[in-house]
Structure 1
Amino acid sequence: MEHQSEILHQFLSDVFGDIQKREEDSLAAGDLSLREVQLIDAVCRTVDQGGDNRSTAIAAARRMAAGTLTSAVDLLVKKGYLIRLRDGKDRRVVRLMPTQQGRDASERHRAFHRRMTDSLLSVLSDQEASALMRGMEKLTDFFRGGWQAPANQTITVQTK
């Protein structure tokens, strides 16, 4: 069990870090950070699926503080990727909408993920791909099920 735990730890640390680095590298030439493009993509997906695109709902879905979302959206509005719209029925409600520039950025982000997953699946047998899908479903359920690091556990990083 200890050996499996170490392998899983390495996977979660290294592979997720590698994916994030590749995503960041794919954005290097643009004016967006990885977090910004992920937020734009979340807004696009929410709108496309007919979901709740109120600022508060997007913040909750992204597990962001409302103030953090507001700052991020302010910058994305200034850059021309998102707009804020007042709800026609309740003027207190602010809805987020992507601009065409935002939709284009989201599509480039999605295309990156399609290329990455297509490349991965091309090196797996059908049986390996099926096993991976089952494992990923369980991993997703685990993390979306509310797992959190213990509150009394802090990480201290020492610098030289």
Structure 2
Amino acid sequence: MSKDTDYLEINKGLIKSYSGILWIEENELRKSEFNDLTIKEMHAIDAISMYNHQTISQVAAKLHLTPGTMTAMTDRLIKKGYVERIRDQEDRRIVRLALTKRGRLLYRAHRALHNMMVKSFLKGMNAEEIKVIKKAMQNLEDFVDQHS
């Protein structure tokens, strides 16, 4: 197989995979108990995470959104019962975001979907093949970081 053919196949695969993953996420969201959310709101909940309470600016930076856009999204997520604002214990001027019980439930469900996807992606690969995949993924992440 020629290098040009490899390039075209990989490009086609990346586009198809990206579109397919978004479609699966949107479809699963629509048919779930969390169908009051948009895909962007679901990704905001994922970025907020269950583990470290971040500020709106920190979450906005992760999602490549302006703080104003993230504030508006946070307000919607609070009204829908997924997120709450909490005051920092050490500096009461700082407001952090935390997931409610409903937000944590969605977070876990979304992570479970991603875990199934990764297991399927790596199925049947040996350690050397996984090492190559990790290198390719790092290259892709570096590209995204450079252009965002």
Alignment-mate amino acid for residue 59 of structure 1: A
1:44 is aligned, of 44, 49, 53, to: 49
Q: 1:23 to 1:73 in 2, by over 3 A?
A: same
Q: Which residue of 2 aligns with 1:34?
A: 39
- Identity, in percent, stands at 32
Q: Which residue of 1 aligns with 2:23?
A: 21
TM-score (norm 1): 0.77
Alignment-mate amino acid for residue 122 of structure 1: K
Q: Which residue of 2 aligns with 1:102?
A: 103
Alignment of 1:1-160 (within 5 A): 2-29=4-31, 30-44=35-49, 48=51, 50=52, 53-144=54-145, 146-147=146-147
- Specify every segment of 5 or more residues in structure 1 that has no aligned partner in the other structure, as ranges: 149-160
Q: CA deviation at 1:142?
A: 2.2
- Specify every segment of 5 or more residues in structure 2 that has no aligned partner in the other structure, as ranges: none
Alignment-mate amino acid for residue 36 of structure 1: E
Q: CA deviation at 1:83?
A: 0.5
Alignment-mate amino acid for residue 57 of structure 2: T
1:85-141 Cα offsets, whole Å, 9 max, x none, are 233454442211111111110000000001111122224344433322221122112
Look up the SS of the partner of 1:27 in the other structure: helix
- Measure, in 1, the Cα distance between the counterparts of 2:73 and 2:42: 11
Alignment-mate amino acid for residue 40 of structure 1: I
TM-score (norm 2): 0.83
1:1-56 Cα offsets, whole Å, 9 max, x none, are 554443343233221111111111111122222211111111115xx1x4x61111
